[in-house]
Amino acid sequence: MIEMQDVWKTYPNHHSAIQGINIKIDRNEFVYVVGPSGAGKSTFMKMMYREVKPTKGHIHVNGFNLAKLKQRKIPYIRRNIGVIFQDFRLLPQLTVYENVAFAMEAIEAPRKQIKKRTMEVLDLVKLKHKSKSMPNQLSGGEQQRVSIARAIVNSPAVIIADEPTGNLDPETSVGIMNLLEEINLRGTTIVMATHNRDIVNNYRKRVIAIEGGKIVRDEYRGEYGYED
């Protein structure tokens, strides 16, 4: 599903954010990516949906080598990759329904299919009753649920979640984690960066720890736990 082979990323200022990473994430896995600020987590995550191109190495996601992918092909690959951000990134001038439907409109899905699928995912995230609301009328947790709905509306094989609970209170974070678990159980691979110790300790998954641009630990929470 996701495989990195001897991947390096060096920025123009000569900072090596990622150094020789080798990793494989299987289909249907739920993986946490942890580590201190500046460790290379964001670069690691962004390379999985080609927001950042590696300097060296190979990155295969769902059968495609992102490191060799031509720029014009990137939008097609991203149809199979849903991305969830810490700051939601909803379009403020669009309703809840329109924010989610926009992801299907971008791939030119039939209008009838857009309406049906958009309402399905809003029902899944328990926001069907707020389909006509504007983002500024929602709580932080509700906005993140809209972001999740947008990420899954095209039925992606993979979801990349970058600190999806970072701006949420503990109770709301639990609701988001329960929703992500349900999505994972439906067959979607999830890779989630987080600083939240409680989430990692309470929802036992595989943990990939990055420090100094290198993977320093790769293990299952149920056996080892999580330390910053």
Give the rounded distance of the alpha carbon of 125 from its chain centre.
16
The burial class, CB within 10 Å (0-12 / 13-18 / 19+), for 74 is middle
Could you tell me which residues come within 8 angstroms of residue 219 by beta carbon, excluding any fewer than 6 positions away?
206, 207
Task: Please report the pLDDT score of residue 69 as a whole number.
Answer: 85
105's tokens: 């409109």
Task: Please report the pLDDT score of residue 71 as a whole number.
Answer: 85
The structure's pTM equals 0.91
Residue 107 has pLDDT above 70, yes or no: yes
| Gap between the Cα atoms of 39 and 66, Å rounded | 22
**pLDDT band at 223; cut points 50, 70, 90:** very low
- Residue 78 · residue 69 · CB < 8 Å: no
Q: Taking CA 71 as the corner, what is the angle to CA 70 and CA 76, rounded to the nearest 5 degrees?
A: 90
First-last CA distance in the chain: 28
Q: What is the pLDDT of residues 47-92, one digit of tens each?
A: 999 999 999 999 999 888 898 888 888 888 888 899 999 899 999 9
Task: Show the domains of the chain with their CATH numbers.
Answer: 2-223 (3.40.50.300)
| CA distances, 212 to each of 7, 41, 54 (Å) | 14, 10, 16
